[in-house]
Amino acid sequence: MDATGEVGWTLYAFPPNSVVRVQISGISNGYDLVFTVTDDERGMFRGTFGSTAAAGSYTIAATSGALHASAEIANNR
C-alpha cells in the first residue's frame, strides 16, 4: 500500500493485447466494480485499488475468453 492508500496489483499471463474483464468485489461489504482493460504486448496490466474503498478483504477476478484468474487482496488503510 502506498501513502495515498492505494494497493498495487498486476495482471499477467493472459495472451498479449487481450481484452480482460476485471471484477473487484468486497468479500463482506457488497462492493462490486467491473471494468475492462487491454493488457500490453507482454500480457500484463498494472492497476491500483483502495483509496475509495472501505478497509477489508477484496477479490480481484480477471477473465478473458476461457481464461480466468483471481486473487484476494486486503485494503487495510
Q: What are the strands, taking DSSP E only, across the chain?
A: 7-11, 19-26, 32-38, 45-49, 56-64, 67-75
> pLDDT tens, 10-55?
999 899 999 999 999 998 888 899 999 999 999 999 998 877 788 8
Q: Who's near 4: CB < 8 A, 6+ residues apart? A: 51
pLDDT over threshold 70, residue 1: no
- Spell out the domains of the chain, with CATH numbers in brackets: 7-75 (2.60.40)
Phi, psi of 3 (to 5 degrees): -65, -20
Amino acid at site 37: V
